């Protein structure tokens, strides 16, 4: 029997354990997860690659990184993460679910360390990235869960969430529609009161010592049956959060434990032009967007990534993260504005 835990509801875990043998049936009770999985995995891959300076389209872009899949279920996220090169540890609270995941992974020839455990009971290391996908809407105490999961991150690591907003639209679509009208999920799978608003998740993330870094919506198109990334957070959404790096990281702004800024006299490269473009586009846009906030953004970069990037590359990543976190622009809007600036600045125009 599952032991009492501050981060899980035994009734919730038993409900999923009862249908554990259906995890890998794309037309079964986990059909919605199979349908959305390519979109959420793509977003997760891109955020991890961006954080650690990897090419997301490389054959194994996550090679050399350690990753924890918390509440792994049957392994729908753990397996693609392993194929992308990550060293994956995956945990779930129910032995039946873990056995299904372990057997499927072994049959696929994947080396995944599956364990029957909760985040607060997990011992034996910290991770570059922690996945919390379709889980926080099932935990009894969001703040406790995020705090316990955050301690499993390495300094500068990345936590990635996928969950459901608490809105009238999500009540209609994710609860009533999915469970009672379309019967995609067993009735009672979700408790609407536990759906999590993005603002609530962001508060829990900050209280856990992390920093929200990116957010995106996922929307379902009934006619095509396809999922896609959108700016609409009203039902399903994703969030990334970063763990702080140790103090003492050299700052390009002459910040703590840093000497004066050293800048090349050579003409700026493409990254330099993009940073300059951002400064033009966002001039006087928001008083919260300060040099100090960008300095802290650079200090939050993982040490290997920081060391491997040039001045402007670090500046660009920090500035983008600040713009998105403050809600000034979305990632898509930043890309669109930069594209317009680059087109205008092209020698052919």
Q: So what's the pLDDT on residue 342?
A: 66
Q: What is the pLDDT of residues 42-91, one digit of tens each?
A: 999 999 999 998 999 999 999 999 999 999 999 999 999 999 999 999 99
* Cβ–Cβ under 8 Å, residues 226 and 136: no
Q: CA-to-CA distance for 127 and 69, rounded, in angstroms?
A: 10
- Annotate 105-129 with b (16+ C-beta within 10 A) or e (fewer): beeeebebebbbbbbbebeeeebbb
pLDDT at 297: 73
Q: What angle do CA 44, 189, 135 make, to 5 degrees?
A: 30
Task: Give, as one character, the DSSP assignment of residue 56.
Answer: T
Higher pLDDT, 339 or 13: 339
| Residue 251 confidence (pLDDT) above 50 | no
Count Cβ atoms within 10 A of the Cβ of residue 83 and give its class: 0-12 exposed, 13-18 middle, 19 or more buried.
middle
Q: Beta strand 66-70 with 87-92: parallel, antiparallel or unpaired?
A: parallel
Contacts of residue 279, Cβ cutoff 8 Å, sequence gap at least 6: none
Nearest residue to 301 (alpha-carbon basis) of 290, 316, 286: 316
Count H helices, E strands: the chain? 12, 8
Q: Please report the pLDDT score of residue 39 as a whole number.
A: 97
Looking at residue 348, its pLDDT comes to 54
282-301 mean pLDDT: 64
Please write the tens of the pLDDT for every residue from 196-233: 999 999 999 999 999 998 999 999 888 888 999 999 99
* The predicted structure's pLDDT at residue 318: 80
Q: Given this model, what pLDDT does residue 291 score?
A: 60
Give alpha helix (H) positions in the chain.
10-17, 31-51, 78-83, 95-107, 142-150, 168-170, 198-207, 270-281, 291-299, 303-308, 311-325, 331-345
Q: How confident is the model at residue 333 (pLDDT cuts 50, 70, 90)?
A: confident
The model's pTM is 0.71
pLDDT band at 282 (very low <50, low <70, confident <90, very high): low
**Is the model more confident about 128 or about 251?**
128
Q: Rounded distance, CA 202 to CA 143, Å? A: 10
CA distances from 36 to 66, 99, 115, 163 (A): 24, 23, 25, 12
Average pLDDT of span 307-336? 79
pLDDT of residue 258: 34
Reported as a pLDDT band with limits 50, 70 and 90, residue 266 is: very low
Question: Which residues in 51-80 are b (16+ Cβ under 10 Å) and which e?
Answer: bbbbeeeeeebbeebbbbbbbbbbbbbbbb
* DSSP label at residue 161: E
Closest CA to 32 of 198, 164, 230: 164
Residue 3, pLDDT > 50, answer no
Model pLDDT, residue 144: 94
Helix, strand or coil for residue 221?
Answer: strand
């Amino acid at each position: 029997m599952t032991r009492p835990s501050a981060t899980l509801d035994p009734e919730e875990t038993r409900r999923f354990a009862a249908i554990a043998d259906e995890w890998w049936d794309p037309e079964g009770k986990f059909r919605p997860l199979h349908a959305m999985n390519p979109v959420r995995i793509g977003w997760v891959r891109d955020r991890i690659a961006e954080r650690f300076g990897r090419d997301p389209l490389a054959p194994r872009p996550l090679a050399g990184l350690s990753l924890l899949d918390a509440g792994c279920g049957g392994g729908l996220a753990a397996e693609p993460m392993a194929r992308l090169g990550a060293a994956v540890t995956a945990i779930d609270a129910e032995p039946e679910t873990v056995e299904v995941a372990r057997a499927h992974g072994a049959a696929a020839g994947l080396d995944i360390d599956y364990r029957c455990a909760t985040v607060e009971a997990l011992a034996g290391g910290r991770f570059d990235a922690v996945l919390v996908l379709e889980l926080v809407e099932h935990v009894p105490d969001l703040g406790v869960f995020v705090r316990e999961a955050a301690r499993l991150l390495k300094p500068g690591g990345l936590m990635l969430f996928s969950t459901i907003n608490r809105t009238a639209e999500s009540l209609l679509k994710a609860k009533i529609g999915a469970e009672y009208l379309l019967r995609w999920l067993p009735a009672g799978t979700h408790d609407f009161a536990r759906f999590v608003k993005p603002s609530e998740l962001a508060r829990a993330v900050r209280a856990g010592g992390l920093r929200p870094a990116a957010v995106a919506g996922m929307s379902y198109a009934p006619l095509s049956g396809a999922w896609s990334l959108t700016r609409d957070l009203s039902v399903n959404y994703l969030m990334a959060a970063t763990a702080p790096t140790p103090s003492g990281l050299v700052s390009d702004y002459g910040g703590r434990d840093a000497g004066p800024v050293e800048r090349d006299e050579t003409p700026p490269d493409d990254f330099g032009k993009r940073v300059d473009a951002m400064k033009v586009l966002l001039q006087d846009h928001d008083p919260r967007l300060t040099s100090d906030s960008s300095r802290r953004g650079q200090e939050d970069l993982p040490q290997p990534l920081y060391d491997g990037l040039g001045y402007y590359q670090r500046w660009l990543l920090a500035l983008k993260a600040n713009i998105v976190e403050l809600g000034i622009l979305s990632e898509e809007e930043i890309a669109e504005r930069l594209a317009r600036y680059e087109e205008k600045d092209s020698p052919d125009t």
